[in-house]
Amino acid sequence: MTDLKSVKNKNVIFWLVWIIVTIAAIYLLYDYVIKNTGFMPAQPIQFSHKVHSGDFGMKCLFCHSSAENSEFSEIPTTYSCMVCHVALKNSSELIKPLNVSFDSLRPIVWNRVYRVPDFTKFNHKVHINSLIDCSTCHGEVEKMEKIFQFRTITMSWCIDCHRYPEKYVVPAREISGIFTADINMDSLNSYKKRYYSVVNPSFGMWLSDYYEGEYISDIVSPRVFSRANENCSACHY
């Protein structure tokens, strides 16, 4: 009888361990494959956002300018980098791959950090023109030595943000450079001071017909918190 009980106890322990390991494996699979937060691929050049944006104050849209007027946020070309590095720290070993790319006319192949499925679309222009700061999705990149995936790029997260923007959205910050291509920061700060006392931050639906004549960079203002579009076609082809 003692041996039988011992065998049963061992079986119970075995199945408990098996269940715990299975649950842990499923969680890790979800966390690292589906959620993918913290994903930090190796890059061909050790580019530091902390140095460029944090220490030197380079705006996000200085290098990723198309994000303000296009669906996509482009990666800067070798030529864009050489505008500064043709003279700045050009002899550094870290800059060597950049010089090789520039001299050979071969683009640098950066490894993508964020990716949505092929049947999904994300429009940078729509979000930025609603004064939604880059850090809402990408985190405070100006503090990152090496870029990593900050948010969970899943349908549930996107829908949650569309339904409850006040939980996630960061209003446009000066470091992002939003609208600075068309107006100076004094104008943007004046705009914020004028309207943020009414609505904070400025995105969502129109406040009222009274404000339809108010424009800044061709964007009608101000806006208020509201649920964003949840139609299937808003995000899917």
pTM: 0.69
The pLDDT, as a whole number, for residue 48 is 94
Considering the domain boundaries, does residue 1 fall inside one?
Answer: yes
pLDDT of residue 110 exceeding 90: yes
Considering the domain boundaries, does residue 148 fall inside one?
Answer: yes
The pLDDT, as a whole number, for residue 198 is 41
In whole angstroms, how far apart are CA 110 and each of 69, 70, 142? 22, 20, 19
Count up the domains in the chain and report the number: 2
Alpha-carbon gap, residue 150 to 135, rounded angstroms: 9
The pLDDT, as a whole number, for residue 31 is 58
The token pair at 178 is 């939003």
Considering the domain boundaries, does residue 122 fall inside one?
Answer: yes
For residue 38, give every residue at least 6 positions away whose Cβ sits within 8 Å of its Cβ, in sequence order, or none. 32, 148, 149
Q: What is the pLDDT of residues 54-75, one digit of tens each?
A: 999 999 989 998 898 889 898 9
Residues 126, 230, single domain; the answer is: yes
Average pLDDT, the chain: 78
The pLDDT, as a whole number, for residue 12 is 74
Q: What's the first-to-final CA gap in the chain, in angstroms?
A: 66
Considering the domain boundaries, does residue 62 fall inside one?
Answer: no
Residues 126, 223, single domain; the answer is: yes
Residues 123, 230, single domain; the answer is: yes
Residues 130, 230, single domain; the answer is: yes
The pLDDT, as a whole number, for residue 6 is 65
Considering the domain boundaries, does residue 67 fall inside one?
Answer: no
Q: What is the pLDDT of residues 130-149, one digit of tens each?
A: 778 899 999 999 999 999 99
Considering the domain boundaries, does residue 61 fall inside one?
Answer: no
Averaged pLDDT for residues 16-45? 77
Considering the domain boundaries, does residue 180 fall inside one?
Answer: yes
Residues 122, 219, single domain; the answer is: yes
Alpha-carbon gap, residue 106 to 227, rounded angstroms: 45
Considering the domain boundaries, does residue 64 fall inside one?
Answer: no
Domain housing 18: 1-35
